[in-house]
Amino acid sequence: MTVPQETALDRAATPATGVQATLPGAPQGDQAAPQAARSGQAPPESAETGPGLPGRVDLLFVPNENKVRVPSGVTIFDAASWNGIAIDSTCGGHGTCKKCKVRVIDGDVPTSKVDARAFSPDELRDGWRLACRAPASADLTIEVPPLTTRPKAATVGIGRRVILRPAVQKRYLELAEPSLSDQHSDIERVLAGLDDLELRVDLTVLRSVGRVLRAADYKVTAVVVDDVLIDVQPGDTTERRYGIAFDLGTTTVVATLLDLSTGTPMAVGSMLSKQQPFGADVISRISSVMLEPENLGRLTTLAHESLSELVGEVCEQAGVDPLDVYEVALAGNATMTHLALGIDPEPLGVAPFILSARLLPEVLATDIGLAVHPRARAVVFPAFGAYVGGDITAGLLASGMNRDFRVRLFIDIGTNCEIVLGSRDWLLATAAPAGPAFEGAAIRCGMRAADGAIESVTLRAGLPGPAGQAGQAGPAGTGGVELPGRVEAPGRVQAPGGVEAPGGVELKVIGDAEPTGLCGSGLVDAVASLIDVGLLDRSGRFVTDELAAEMAPALATRLTMLGDERVFVLHWRGEPGDVPNSIFLTQRDVRELQFAKAAIASGWSVLLEESGLQAGDIQQVLLAGSFGSYLSPANAIRLGLVPRLPALRVVSAGNVAGEGAKMVLLSVRERAGALALLEEVRYVELSDRADFNDRFIEQLQFPA
């Protein structure tokens, strides 16, 4: 789909526009960076980047004391990336997200124009720079803030009861020893003990079966996955039978270890995807492969490292030997699945957006880099289209969308928002380009959902405090006055006893820590609250100072200017009035949320039109994924992210992709159900709709 001209001024193109719009032929001006930044590969040893510059420089990264030697003139971000040193970034080093903050503590790096917009003068003097805009032309010592590798994520979600019938079986066999009168082969002897199954045999089993049988006195356990005999083990190991369900997200990867004998979850782990340095969204990662084909191998390796690290974590938690894991399930969007399997994702990013395959051939766990049983199988969910992938197939399976007579709307909110509408009789699906705002990217003070992130915001207009002063900031971690009572009318807060109290800002911070930034759910709450108290109009523009003083006197002083941009201060980190050091929401941040909201609303409105239904016909809205788990239903309705319905109809579905992955490990019947969904869902492409631009523009305004 073509993004309307109004949005093109403020954001890069999104998945449905095609990668061409996001890939300038070469970086320009202050945005320029070495081409190697996009490749992830170090340039040749002899590389020199300018006249008079030495060939190599030494960089020391602290606190981990990593010392590297790189060509002079490359950026700090590239130098770190080449050497496996993680620096936060959501744009892949393009200079747009302003997240790759580092501090040069020894040496000198000139400031760039982007640095001047990202840091206060005091921070610049203290050595803070954006790593992707900091060329290393001399030896440096660089402090790298710790990267959040365990963001707050939904690890469970709604699901259904399933009949426990896993594809992994173990049979204990006590076999007769061979003799001159019984000269059946070793494998025939084993298969005879499994005569109720029609099995294929892996060659690797043949290589070891004779030795195992004789060493175990013909008392062995046969391990079967689907119709394949994958192992013969000495003794009785039937109690040790495990599987791992993966939700391979663009931002977060979640793993759940399951006891396949009982269906019990044994351990759960989550981590930030190691692909993050290549960008926060799938288009950035596709772009990196298009610009430098060698990046495909690098991204594949990083996907495998993420999955492998979680295997080790969950197995250690549960005290399980990874060799007793015989099957894994992988639910991910089409791009993440392609990258994990080493398949070129470029066709996904350019029209007509074609998958390499909806159904994949048999995949082994070793094909995705997992050190589990060497012949363990990997179940990879099929995809409906380039932007409605296997994670949505898993989510639909878990939520039972194709089993329910009610009309339900399923929305998985992320950088790419997948939307499904329907009932047991019909299902329509589409994808909308929401962008990275909900992940905290493209937001000036945005961050991922980790300790220190503001996840909930409540604003109360109130009256001016004593001597005409606005309500004062409350204790650290709250950011404002904690006001009991309820809002009686716009601009008034009715406290217990009928006494009007000053208004203020109430913040909920992950980890009960001092606020350090704003995550996606906090962004939604903040904008919804600003509309409610009258500081934002329906167009998303901050109101004038005069109107602010009238509508929300206790908050008006927080609505101010930073340079030439209008901002609202959520939390003073320094002295009140020190705007650059505060946590604030900018006019552009509001626009980013509007673009995301408009794309999502346009998506579900198209599906309603295709089905001939009205919003009121929807009986339940499921908000899926980690972000949906923490999103306020009332504020989602207030902003128009979801149709205007009674709030009780909007429910959090949690990590339904992970739940679907568990289900296919526990039941072969559910696995067949996942395949059947491919024939039950009709995909609606938005990019070829002539009315999409007009619909998008209509949805930019917030509901009245």
- pLDDT, tens digit (0-9, with 9 covering 90-100), for 579-627: 988 999 999 999 999 999 999 999 999 999 999 999 999 999 999 877 7
Q: Residue 514 CA to chain centroid, in angstroms?
A: 24
Report the DSSP pairing between strands 168-174 and 219-225: antiparallel
Percent of the chain whose predicted confidence (pLDDT) is above 90: 55
- Quote the CA–CA distance of 83 and 3 in Å, as a whole number: 37
pLDDT at 704 over 70: yes
pLDDT score, position 147:
65
- Supply the angle between the helices 587-611 and 520-532 in degrees, to the nearest 10: 90
Phi, psi torsion values for 229, nearest 5 degrees: -80, 110
Per domain, the residue ranges of the chain are: 5-85+87-143, 168-234, 242-391, 402-435+596-699, 438-591
- CB atoms under 10 Å from CB of 64, counted, come to 10
pTM across the whole model: 0.76
pLDDT per residue as tens digits for the range 488-519: 233 333 333 332 333 588 999 988 888 999 98
Q: Output the six-digit token pair for 440.
A: 């905290």
CB 460 within 8 Å of CB 504: yes
Q: Using pLDDT thresholds of 50, 70 and 90, give the confidence band for residue 347.
A: very high
- Quote the CA–CA distance of 401 and 399 in Å, as a whole number: 6
Tell which CATH architecture fits domain 5-85+87-143.
Roll (3.10)
Range of lowest pLDDT (156-170, 281-295, 337-351, 647-661): 156-170
- Quote the CA–CA distance of 364 and 344 in Å, as a whole number: 19
Q: Which amino acid makes up residue 164? A: L
Which of 202 and 50 is assigned the larger pLDDT?
Answer: 202
- Quote the CA–CA distance of 97 and 279 in Å, as a whole number: 9
Which residue in 377, 334, 339 sits closest to 357, CA to CA? 334
Task: Examine residue 382 and say whether the peptide bond preceding it is cis (omega within 30 degrees of 0).
Answer: no
Q: Which amino acid makes up residue 85? A: I
pLDDT per residue as tens digits for the range 513-565: 889 999 889 999 999 999 999 999 999 999 999 999 999 988 999 999 998 89
* CATH number among 3.30.420.480, 1.10.3720.10, 1.10.420.10, 1.10.20.10, domain 242-391: 3.30.420.480
pLDDT score, position 28:
37
pLDDT per residue as tens digits for the range 30-59: 333 333 433 444 444 333 344 444 578 889
CB 49 within 8 Å of CB 132: no
pLDDT at 133 over 80: yes
- For residue 486, give every residue at least 6 positions away whose Cβ sits within 8 Å of its Cβ, in sequence order, or none: 493, 494
- Quote the CA–CA distance of 59 and 44 in Å, as a whole number: 17
What average pLDDT does range 448-475 have in this prediction?
65
- Quote the CA–CA distance of 691 and 606 in Å, as a whole number: 10
CATH dotted code for 168-234:
3.10.20.880
Fold matches, 168-234 and 242-391 = no
CATH dotted code for 402-435+596-699:
3.30.420.40
